[in-house]
Amino acid sequence: MTDVIDSGAAYGRPSPTFDADLVQVGPGTPGGELFRRHWQPVAIATEVAQRPRAVRILGEDLILFRDGRGRPGLVYPRCAHRGTTLYYGKVEEEGIRCCYHGWLFDVEGHCLDQPCEAEGGRHRDRIRQPWYPAVDHYGLVFAYLGPPERRPPLPRLDILETLGDDEVLTNSQTAGLSGPLVIPCNWLQLFENVMDPWHVFVLHSSLSGTQFTSAMAVAPRVSWEWDGDYGMHSVQDRDFEGKLFRRITQVLAPNVRIVPSTQAGADPNAFGAATGAIWVVPVDDTSTTGFGVRKAPLGPDGKPVPLRGAATFEGKSWWELSEEEHQRMPGDFEAEAGQGPITLHSEEHLATSDRGVTMFRHLLRRHMNAVREGSDPPGSLVGPDATVHVEAGNFILEPS
Ligand code: FES
Ligand SMILES: [Fe+2]
């Protein structure tokens, strides 16, 4: 008999697993229930009109519309009568009318009319189309998919609460800095990238060329800090023209990312407090999108100055790259989706530079446990004063 030698061969390796609690978002899962205790954006408000839209969020398929009175409505697709989809419904002043037999539902699912029944349906009050609250906020439509009695206030960030005369809020659908609008992987492997500033030094600055700026390419000194019990931020210090360039990126549990401009040193507007946030929204366990809101200065033409922030690849956008160029100049999309539909936690070897990722997973578990035990998620996002102070930004300081 020969001794078994640990040769490192791929043959016979253990079956890989992921931590289901961390990644699942469906109803009844720890993560799904945490997400269902926070308002989540589902669309850009100006894109929600009378034409019904199919929306998939947290593993649920829903129909989003705006009634003739301007109220957003988010309802379960299968009509309470005989189940055809309200995707083919017609939106009216008071709600959405099913295409099949014309039952009319308002934005809270009340059945207002049953035209094939006597008197428009003598028992229509007994019918309720399942619905979720939806409201316009920061130029987005936010929805609350959780228990009605635990509905929190709408999320507010101090940087978005006051607008100067020459500023407006702008919105985008985006899950990251490059790649498609819906990314084919679990939300967490996208999101924890924000607490991983070391990848900027490698992925965005040397391995793939300079995707951001030379100021961002300097090796940082990195630390991480908690923000109350609702979030955390990373601090990245770099030397810059004899000064200290301090970059702070921030996350709020579970899924708000506040990342300042990546154009420090190239764009004069890149310094100062961060100007916006992105909600990274799970479509389901294996696909993810996001919605952003940003405070933009108005240009001389009276239009918001477009954001300079998307990574560039030898002057090309992500969409213009050939397969070979994606291999030669990978960015966030390739690194994150490249972990597979759901990353395999059993195969990871977390190191010192992953401390931010470890801390964030710990924070997430604490929030999931609080919800599982019947409490609200910890932190000011659900307190009476739901306005969060934003720490993130690019700051120039005197070296100490
Ligand atoms: S199936 Fe909708 S009204 Fe009949
Ligand atoms: Fe990145």
Cα separation of 21 and 193, whole Å? 19
143, β-bridge pairs: 40, 134
Give the separation between CA 181 and CA 342, rounded to whole angstroms: 18
CA dist 180 → 48, 54, 240, 274, 320 (Å): 21, 18, 33, 24, 12
Strand order in the sheet with 40-44: 40-44, 140-143, 134-137
> Across-strand partners of 66?
72
What's the rounded mean pLDDT across residues 195-221? 91
d(Cα 70, Cα 283) in Å, to the nearest integer?
Answer: 25
- Closest residue CA from atom 1 of ligand 1: 82
State CA 290 to chain mean position distance: 4
Write the CB contacts of 208 (distance below 8 Å, at least 6 apart in sequence): 313, 328, 329, 330, 331
205 phi, psi to nearest 5 deg? -130, -20
Q: Taking the CB of residue 117, how many other CB atoms lie within 10 A of it?
A: 14
| Residue that has been written with the tokens 């028992």 in this structure | 123
Torsion angle of the four alpha carbons 232, 180, 178, 282, in this order, in degrees rounded to the nearest 10:
0
- Say yes or no: CB of residue 66 within 6 Å of ligand 1: no
Task: Give the number of the ligand closest to the Cα of residue 89.
Answer: 1
Radius of gyration of the chain (CA): 23
**Cα(177) to centroid of ligand 2, in Å?**
7
pLDDT at 25 > cutoff 70:
yes
pLDDT at 21: 95
- Find out whether the beta carbon of 80 lies less than 6 Å from any atom of ligand 1: no
* Cα dist from 210 to 206, 219, 238, 262, 314, whole Å: 6, 13, 16, 11, 8
User: Which residue's CA is the nearest one to ligand 1's atom 3?
Assistant: 101
Q: Which residues contact 158 (CB under 8 A, 6 or more apart)?
A: 387, 388, 389, 390
| pLDDT tens by residue, 146-175 | 999 999 999 999 999 999 999 999 999 998
Least confident of 80-94, 107-121, 166-180, 188-202: 166-180
Residue 355: per-residue pLDDT: 98
Tokens 């006051």: give the residue.
162
Calculate what percentage of the chain has a pLDDT beyond 70.
96
Which residue ranges form the domains of the chain, and what is each CATH number?
44-135 (2.102.10.10), 152-397 (3.90.380)
* Cα 159 from chain centroid (whole Å): 18
Average pLDDT, the chain: 93
Ligand 1 centroid – CA 129 distance (Å): 11
**Nearest bound ligand to the CA of residue 99:** 1
Ligand 1 pocket, residue 81 CB under 6 Å: yes
**Collapsing DSSP states into helix, strand and coil, what is residue 248?**
strand
More confident residue, 385 or 378: 378
Name the residue of 81, 88, 113 to mutate for ligand 1: max ligand atoms within 8 A of Cβ.
81
C-alpha span between 351 and 28 (Å, rounded): 32
36-79 confidence digits (pLDDT tens): 999 999 999 999 999 999 999 999 999 999 999 999 999 999 99
Q: Is the pLDDT of residue 382 over 60?
A: no
Which atom number of ligand 1 is nearest to the Cα of residue 82?
Answer: 1
Closest residue by Cα to residue 72 from 41, 102, 101, 36: 41
CA-CA distance, 316 to 373, in Å (whole number)?
49
**What whole-number distance in Å separates Cα of residue 108 and Cα of residue 74?**
8
Question: What amino acid occupies position 321?
Answer: L
pLDDT band (50, 70, 90) for residue 384: low
- With a pLDDT cut of 90, the percent of the chain lying above it is 84
Dihedral sign (CA 208, 394, 218, 224): negative
**Which ligand 1 atom lies nearest to the CA of residue 80?**
2
Ligand 1 binding pocket includes 79 (Cβ within 6 Å): yes
How far is it, in rounded angstroms, from Cα 92 to Cα 81?
A: 18
CA distance 215 to 205: 10
Give the pTM. Answer: 0.95
Residue type, 238: R
Determine the atom of ligand 1 nearest the C-alpha atom of 101.
3
Quick one: which atom of ligand 1 is closest to the CA of 83?
1
N-terminal to C-terminal alpha carbon distance within the chain: 64
Residue 30: how many CB atoms within 10 A of its CB? 19
| 48 vs 66: CA distance, rounded Å | 6
In eight-state DSSP terms, residue 303 is: S
Cβ-Cβ contacts under 8 Å for 296 (sequence gap 6 or more): 167, 168, 169, 170, 275, 304, 305, 306, 307
Q: How confident is the model at residue 315 (pLDDT cuts 50, 70, 90)?
A: confident
